[in-house]
A and B are shown apart, each in its own frame.
Chain A
Amino acid sequence: MTTATEPMVRAGDLSVSFAGRPALEKVSFELPRASFAGVLGPNGAGKTTLLRALLGTLPHSGSGSLTGRPAYVPQSGGIDPSFPIDALGVVRMGRYPRLGWGRWPGREDRRRAREIVAQVGLEREARVPFAALSAGQRQRALVGRALAEDGDVLMLDEPLTGIDAPSQEAILAALEVRRRAGATILMTTHDLAQAARVCDRLLLLNRTLVAFGTTSEVFRPDVLGRTYGDELLFLERAAVVVDDAHHHGEH
C-alpha cells in the first residue's frame, strides 16, 4: 500500500545509450501519485526510450523505477492487425498478466473487460475484428487493454497520434477517470497544446531533461524553445505548434 506522498515514478540520472550513442542522458524526476505527466520532445529525443527504460525492458545506467503495477500502451507498429481477435478480445488480454499458468480469464475478468469496452466507447464494436476497426477504434481497444490491467502506473507511448478527435477525447476521458481513482499516468506526445490542456506536469526531453515541472511552470516559450530548437513555430502568444516534418520517427 503506497502512501499518498510516495512518488510513483522515479528516475535518478537515468541514462541509455545504443551502440555508444547516448539516447538519454542523466534524466532525473519524480512523479507523485495521481499525476498526469506529458513527455514532450522532438523526434529522437528519447521519449520511447524513457518509457522502456522505466519499464525495465532496456538496459540503462542510473535508476528508474515504478511503484506498483505498470500498464503499458506501446506504439502499435508491432501488431499484426490481421490477427483473429475482436475489440473485446483485445481488452480482455489486459487481464492476462494477472493469470497464472494454465488459467484462462474467468467470469470476473470477462465482466471487467466488457465494462472497460464500454468505458472507451466501443460497446457497439465489441465483436468487430480488430482488423476492421478504424485507427481510432483500435487505439481505444489498446488503451482499454492497459486499463484492464488495473495498473497503478499507466505508460502510454503516443496514444493519441494520428487518430480522430472523438477517439482522442474518449481515451482522455477514460484516463482521467482512472487518474481520479488514483492511477499515475505518463504519456508521450507530439501535441503541445493538447499536453498543456490535459497534463498537470510536463517533462520536456531532448535527450537530456530540458525542464520538468507543473504545466504552468514549464509551458513557456523560452523553455519550449530550448526543447524543440528551430522545430518550433509560434503562431500567437498562446498557441504553439511543432513543425514535425519527420512524423512517427523511431525514438
Chain B
Amino acid sequence: MIEALDAPYLTRALAAGALVAVPLGLLGCFVLLRDLAFLAHGAGVATFSGLVVGAAVPGLGPFAGAMAAALAFSGLVSLGERDRAVSGGAVTGVALAGSLALGAVLVVAVDAGAVPVERLLFGSLLAVSGADVARSALAAAMTVTVVGLALPRLAATTFDREWAVTAGAHGRATDAALVALVAIAVVCALPTVGSLLAGALLVVPAATARLLSERLVPMLAYAGSLSLLEMASGIVLARLLDLPPGTVVATLGGAVFAAAAAGRAAAARLAPEAAR
C-alpha cells in the first residue's frame, strides 16, 4: 500500500490538496456564519465554463479562466440578489445552471475529446501540476495572513453589521475581500476536487467545527484542521478505491459531520445538564 502511495503525482495531489484545504476550512467558517453556502457552491459550479474556455484559449489557461468565471458569477449574483422580487437564491440557481450549460456546450464546440469533463467536474489525482501546488501554497498564505490580520473586522461585521460599520469596519470591503478569497481558494481546489464539489470543504468542516465549539477562534482552528485531515484522507482513499477524489472528500466530510452530530446528541442524552 505504501508503494501505491509513493508516486510523485500523488505527492503533488496531497500537497496541493492539503495546502488549499486550510484556507477552505478557515473561510468556510465565515461562509457558514454569513449564509454564503449557496453562493460558494454556485461559484464552484460556474468555474466549469471558465475551465473549458481557459483550456481552449492558448495563453489563458484553466486557472485564469476559472478565476474569471468565479468572480463574474459572484458579481452577477450579488447584483441580481438586490432585486427583492427574485431574491432568495433564485438568481444563484439560474446563474449556476446557465454557466454550467454554457460550459457543457462549449466543451463540444471546443473539442470533444481534448477536455476530460469528468476530471473537471469531480477532480483527478493525475491532473495536479507543480504550478497547482504553488498556487495552493500562495492561496493558503494569503488567506491565513488576511484572516489573521482582519479577524476582528470579519467577526464584527459577521456578528452585527450595523454596529461594525458604524464603528469603522468597512462592511463592503470586508465582504468583497471575503468573496475574493473564497473564489481564489475554490479555484485552487479545482484540480483536486473539481467544480461540482469545490464547495464541500468550504461548508462541511466548518459545520462540524460549529458543533464542536461555541467560540469563533476554536471554531476556526477545528475547521482548518478538519478540512486538512478530510482532504488528505479523502485523496488517499480515492487512490485506493480508484474514485474521483472530489466525491470521496465530500462524502468523508459529510460522514465526519454526521459522526460529530451523533456524538453530540448521544452526549447530550447521557448528561443533559452538562451538555446544554
**A and B, direct touch (CB closer than 8 Å):** yes
Which applies to chain B's interface (DSSP): helix, strand, loop or mixed?
helix
A83 and B159 within 8 A (CB): yes
Which applies to chain A's interface (DSSP): helix, strand, loop or mixed?
mixed
Which residues of B sit under 8 angstroms from A104, Cβ to Cβ? 151-152
Encoded as 1 (CB less than 8 Å from any A CB) or 0, chain B from 40 to 63 comes to: 000000000000000000000000
Assuming the contacts A74-B163, A97-B168, asked whether A84 and B149 have C-beta atoms less than 8 A apart, the reply is: no
Q: Among A72, A80, A84, A96, which residue has its beta carbon within 8 angstroms of that of B156?
A: A96
Assuming the contacts A84-B214, A104-B152, A132-B276, asked whether A74 and B162 have C-beta atoms less than 8 A apart, the reply is: yes
A83 and B33 within 8 A (CB): yes
A85 and B216 within 8 A (CB): yes
Q: B166: shortest Cβ distance to chain A, in Å?
A: 5
What are the nearest 9 A-B pairs in CB distance? A102-B149, A97-B167, A96-B152, A74-B162, A129-B214, A72-B166, A83-B159, A79-B160, A97-B168
Which residues of A sit under 8 angstroms from B161, Cβ to Cβ? 78
Which residues of A sit under 8 angstroms from B169, Cβ to Cβ? 96-97
B216 and A96 within 8 A (CB): no
A84 and B215 within 8 A (CB): yes
Which residues of B sit under 8 angstroms from A85, Cβ to Cβ? 155, 159, 215-216
Q: How far is A132 from B210 in the complex, measured between Cα atoms in Å?
A: 15
Which residues of B sit under 8 angstroms from A129, Cβ to Cβ? 214
Q: Looking across the interface, which residue of chain A has its beta carbon closest to that of B168?
A: A97
Q: Among B152, B159, B210, B219, which residue has its beta carbon within 8 angstroms of that of A99?
A: B152
B215 and A57 within 8 A (CB): no
| A89 CB-CB contact with B under 8 Å | yes
Interface residues of A in 56-83 (CB under 8 A from B): 57, 70-74, 76, 78-80, 83
Which residues of A sit under 8 angstroms from B215, Cβ to Cβ? 84-86, 89
Interface residues of B in 104-129 (CB under 8 A from A): none
Q: How far is A71 from B214 in the complex, measured between Cα atoms in Å?
A: 27
Count of interface residues, chain B, beta-carbon cutoff 8 Å: 27
Name the residue among B33, B150, B214 with the largest chain A CB count within 10 angstroms. Answer: B214
| B265 CB-CB contact with A under 8 Å | no
Q: How far is A105 from B158 in the complex, measured between Cα atoms in Å?
A: 18
Count of interface residues, chain A, beta-carbon cutoff 8 Å: 31
14 pairs across A/B with beta carbons < 8 Å? A57-B166, A72-B163, A72-B167, A74-B166, A79-B160, A80-B33, A84-B215, A85-B215, A85-B216, A89-B216, A93-B156, A102-B150, A104-B151, A142-B163
Which residues of A sit under 8 angstroms from B141, Cβ to Cβ? none
Interface residues of B in 196-246 (CB under 8 A from A): 210, 213-216, 219
| A152 CB-CB contact with B under 8 Å | no
A80 and B159 within 8 A (CB): yes
| B272 CB-CB contact with A under 8 Å | no
Q: A89: shortest Cβ distance to chain B, in Å?
A: 7
Interface residues of B in 149-198 (CB under 8 A from A): 149-153, 155-156, 158-163, 165-169
| B148 CB-CB contact with A under 8 Å | yes
| A218 CB-CB contact with B under 8 Å | no
Q: How far is A58 from B64 in the complex, measured between Cα atoms in Å?
A: 39
A57 and B148 within 8 A (CB): no
Q: Among B152, B168, B210, which residue has its beta carbon within 8 angstroms of that of A84?
A: B210
Which residues of B sit under 8 angstroms from A90, Cβ to Cβ? 159
Interface residues of A in 73-125 (CB under 8 A from B): 73-74, 76, 78-80, 83-86, 89-90, 93, 96-97, 99, 101-105
| A145 CB-CB contact with B under 8 Å | yes
Q: Among B151, B167, B214, B219, which residue has its beta carbon within 8 angstroms of that of A86?
A: B214
Name the residue among B156, B159, B163, B169 with the largest chain A CB count within 10 angstroms. Answer: B163
Q: Looking across the interface, which residue of chain A has its beta carbon closest to that of B162?
A: A74
Q: How far is A89 from B215 in the complex, measured between Cα atoms in Å?
A: 9
Name the residue among B150, B168, B215, B219 with the largest chain A CB count within 10 angstroms. Answer: B215
